[in-house]
Chains A and B, each alone.
Chain A
Amino acid sequence: MSSLLRGEEMCLAQLFLQSGSAYDCISELGELGLVEFRDLNPSVTAFQRKHVNEIKKCEEMERILGYLLREVKKADISLPERDVNPVAPLPKHVMAIMEQLQRLEVELGEVTRNKEKLQRNLLELTEYTHMLRITRKFVQRTAEREPLQVQYEEFPFLEKETMMDYSSMQRLGAKLGFISGLIQRVKIEAFERMLWRVCKGYTILSYAEVEEYLENPDTGEPTKCVVFLISYWGDQIGQKVKKICDCYHCHVYPYPSSNEERNDVVEGLRTRIQDLHTVLNRTEDYLRQVLIKASESVYTWVIQVKKMKAIYYILNLCSFDVTNKCLIAEVWCPVNDIPTLRRALEEGSRKSGATVPSFVNRIPTSDTPPTLIKTNKFTSGFQNIVDAYGVGSYREVNPAPFTIITFPFLFAVMFGDLGHGVIMAVFAAWMVLCENNRKLKNTRNEIWNTFFEGRYIILMMGLFSIYTGLIYNDCFSKSLNIFGSGWSVKAMGWTKEQWENNRFLTLDPNVTGVFKGPYPLGIDPIWNLASNRLTFLNSYKMKMSVILGIIHMSFGVILSTYNYLHFRKKYNLYLVFLPELLFLLCLFGYLVFMILYKWLAFSAKDSRHAPSILIHFINMFLMQGDGLQPLYPGQTGLQIFLVVIAVLSVPVLLLGKPVYLYWLHNGSHRLGLYRGYERVRRNSEEELYLMRAHDMEEGSSHSDLSSSGENPTEEFDFADELLHQAIHTIEYCLGCVSNTASYLRLWALSLAHAQLSEVLWAMVMRVGLRMDSTLGVLFLVPVFGLFAVLTVSILLVMEGLSAFLHALRLHWVEFQNKFYGGTGVKFCPFAFSLLPSSFEHDGLL
Chain B
Amino acid sequence: MLFAPLLMESELTFNVDHGYLEGLVRGMKAGILTSTDYHNLAQCDTLEDMKLHLQSTDYGKLLSSSEEDLTVSLVDSKLRANLVTEFSCLRSNALPPLSTFLDYITYSYMIDNVVMLITGALKQRDVAELLPRCHPLGAFDQMAAVGIARTPTELYSAILVDTPLAPFFQDAVSESNLDEMEAEILRNKLYKAYIESFHSFCKNIGGVTADIMCPVLEFEADRRTFIITVNSFGTELSGADKSALYPSCGKLYPEGLRLLAKAEDHEQVKAVANCYPEYKLIFDDPEPGADFKTLEDRFFEQEVKLNMLAFLQQFHFGVFYSYVKLKEQESRNIVWIAECVTQRQKSKIHNYIPIFPGTH
Contact = CB atoms under 8 A, between A and B. Distances in A.
B40 interface: yes
B48 interface: yes
Contacts of B64: 59, 63
Interface string B142-158: 11110110000000011
A46 B141 contact: no
A247 B143 contact: yes
B158 A198 contact: yes
B159 interface: yes
B349 interface: no
Interface in A241-274: 243-244, 246-248
A684 B199 CA distance: 71
A84 interface: no
A489 B64 CA distance: 85
A190 interface: yes
A843 B56 contact: no
Interface in A173-227: 187, 190, 193-194, 197-198
A285 to B, nearest CB: 26
A376 interface: no
A797 interface: no
A632 interface: no
A244 B158 CA distance: 11
Contacts of B148: 198, 240, 243-244
Contacts of A193: 162
B157 to A, nearest CB: 6
A247 B142 contact: yes
Most central of A47, A59, A197 by chain B CB within 10 Å = A47
Contacts of A47: 44, 48-49, 52-53
A45 interface: yes
Contacts of B44: 47
A52 interface: yes
Contact of B142 (A46, A63, A190): A190
A56 interface: yes
A52 B44 CA distance: 13
Nearest to B141: A190
Among the interface residues A66, A193, A246, which one has the most CB atoms of the partner chain B within 10 A? A246
B61 A197 contact: no
Interface string B56-100: 100011001101000000000000000000000000000000000
A183 to B, nearest CB: 12
B139 interface: no
Interface in A31-73: 45-47, 52, 56, 59, 63, 66
Contacts of B157: 197
A45 B143 contact: no
A248 B141 CA distance: 7
B147 A243 contact: yes
Interface in A585-607: none
Nearest to A67: B67
A246 B144 contact: yes
B177 interface: no
A236 to B, nearest CB: 11
Interface of B is mostly: helix
A240 B149 CA distance: 10
Contact of A194 (B65, B143, B147, B158): B158
Interface size class of B (residues with CB under 8 A): 20 to 34
Q: Quick one: which of B53, B148, B158 has the most chain A CB within 10 A? A: B158
B159 A194 contact: yes
A63 to B, nearest CB: 7
Contacts of B144: 243, 246-248
A47 B128 CA distance: 40
Interface string B280-302: 00000000000000000000000
A252 to B, nearest CB: 14
B271 interface: no
Contacts of A46: 52-53, 56
A47 to B, nearest CB: 4
B145 A194 contact: yes
Nearest to A109: B67
Nearest to B145: A247
A244 B145 contact: yes
B127 interface: yes
B161 interface: yes
Given A52-B52, A244-B148, A45 B141 contact: no
B162 A190 contact: yes
Contact of B158 (A56, A197, A246): A197
B43 interface: yes
Most buried by A among B44, B48, B53, B141: B141
Contacts of B128: 246
B287 to A, nearest CB: 33
A59 B67 CA distance: 12
Contacts of A63: 64-65, 67
B43 to A, nearest CB: 7
Contacts of B65: 63, 66
A246 B129 CA distance: 13
B222 to A, nearest CB: 36
A69 to B, nearest CB: 13
Contacts of A843: 60-61
A47 B40 CA distance: 10
Interface string B27-38: 000000000000
Most buried by B among A194, A244, A246, A247: A247
Given A52-B52, A56-B48, A198-B148, A45 B40 contact: yes
Contacts of A194: 142, 145, 158-159, 162
A648 to B, nearest CB: 47
Interface string B124-140: 00011000000000000
A243 B49 CA distance: 44
Contacts of B53: 46-47
Contacts of B61: 843
A77 B46 CA distance: 39
B45 to A, nearest CB: 8
A197 B161 contact: yes
B4 to A, nearest CB: 32
Contacts of A243: 127, 144-145, 147-148
A200 to B, nearest CB: 9
Nearest to A249: B144
A243 B159 CA distance: 12
A190 B143 CA distance: 13
Contacts of A187: 141
Contacts of B127: 243, 246-247
A194 B162 CA distance: 9
Nearest to A197: B158
Contacts of A45: 40, 43
A194 B56 CA distance: 48
A46 B60 CA distance: 15
B125 to A, nearest CB: 14
Interface string A63-92: 100100000000000000000000000000
A63 B143 CA distance: 36
Nearest to B146: A247
A247 B141 CA distance: 7
Contacts of A197: 157-159, 161
A194 B158 CA distance: 6
Contacts of A198: 145, 148, 158-159
27 contacts: A45-B43, A46-B52, A46-B53, A46-B56, A47-B44, A47-B48, A47-B49, A47-B52, A52-B52, A63-B64, A63-B67, A190-B142, A193-B162, A194-B162, A197-B161, A198-B145, A198-B158, A198-B159, A240-B148, A243-B144, A243-B145, A243-B148, A244-B145, A244-B148, A246-B127, A843-B60, A843-B61
Given A45-B40, A197-B159, A247-B145, 17 more contacts: A47-B52, A47-B53, A52-B52, A56-B48, A59-B64, A63-B67, A187-B141, A190-B162, A194-B162, A197-B157, A240-B148, A243-B148, A246-B127, A246-B144, A247-B127, A247-B144, A843-B60
Q: Top 8 closest A-B pairs, CB basis? A: A247-B144, A247-B145, A47-B49, A197-B158, A198-B158, A47-B52, A243-B148, A244-B145
